Amino acid sequence: MLTKTTADGDTATLVEEPRKTTRAVKPADESRPAKAAKPLTIFLDGEFVSEENAKVSVFDHGLLYGDGIFEGIRFYNGRVFRLEQHLERLWDSARSICLEIPMSHGEMSEALLETIRKNDLRDGYIRLIVTRGVGNLGLNPAQCKQPSVIIIATTVALYPPDMYQRGLTVVTVATRRTSPGALNPAVKSLNYLNNVMARIEANLARADEALMLNDHGFIAECTADNIFVIKHGEVFTPPITAGALRGITRAVVFEIAAELGIKISETHISRHDVFVADECLLSGTAAEVIPVIKADGRVIGTGKPGPISLRMIARFREITREGGTPIYS
């Protein structure tokens, strides 16, 4: 509020006109709401603790160096979706970085299910984390004697529901996907700074997601999703060798395509292929299956989710409700 003095000495109050601001980018809501109905119960190294007491050491190498692995897992209608595939990928990631998970598959599975039960959830998201554990400030993982296991069960909404009907916008970013010669994208490590930097670029460009290229200039994937383009009724997606994660939901899209009689194949995809596609889809555990309608300012197809995309999304939702590992039995 401003004031000024008039010619006769009186003071007048002026209302300052609000400044015009640029609308901020609203990031994807990848976590539970700020206020949950009740505090979460977290599995931490064999014990169930309140979220207030779920803490790790500042000397944990997962914090100090991003030395650890994780999985994001969905559960629907009281069933965990593709649990065994997620655990297999977790163990594959662990083997690749010489990390010994201090639990068996069976123990991990039961701990995960019990975490969901403790939080009284039927639909939601699991974040399963295994860190190298507590060590010293040195880089050597041999200093870490005991890996740490954390399981968080909560809800997630990567995108608002209406975006599944109207589609996303994506933008190609300068940050390249990590080369398999540096850190193989097949390992879901805690070091996601590569993806975070790409996400920042997408935010700055006011886009919903980022297209990440590999060192050869082909599309690898998005920051948290695999990508599919549809042309003349056929579906194409980058091969794993291009830097794409071997996504669990990606595999489901292959299954749906086969079920619907739609040809699907892995091939190198350029930005041009996205621009001229009839339709485009993204897939991921948190994102599920969602259409893309604009890339780098170019409208894809009609600018609306296409018929194949909508059929795949509908079928995916059916599949997630039909099967899975029972939580309450």
3-state secondary structure of 275: helix
Tokens (6 digits) for 87: 């655990």
Helices (H), the chain: 61-65, 83-96, 105-118, 163-166, 193-204, 248-260, 271-275, 307-322
Q: Choose among 61, 287, 74, 81: nearest CA to 189.
A: 61
What is the rounded CA–CA span in Å between residue 282 and residue 248?
Answer: 13
Q: Choose among 152, 151, 157, 115: nearest CA to 327.
A: 115
Q: Choose among 198, 289, 287, 299: nearest CA to 243.
A: 198
What is the rounded CA–CA span in Å between residue 93 and residue 106?
Answer: 18
Q: What are phi and psi of 34, to 5 degrees?
A: -55, -35
Q: Residues 176, 213: contact at Cβ < 8 Å?
A: yes
Q: Within 13 A of 157's CA, how many CA atoms are on the CB side?
A: 10
* Set 38, 188, 231, 294: catalytic member: 188
* Residues in Cβ contact with 61 at an 8 Å cutoff, skipping those fewer than 6 apart: 67, 68, 131, 132, 133, 134, 135, 141, 144
Q: Choose among 49, 37, 63: nearest CA to 133.
A: 63
Active site residue 294: no
Q: What residues are annotated to the active site?
A: 188
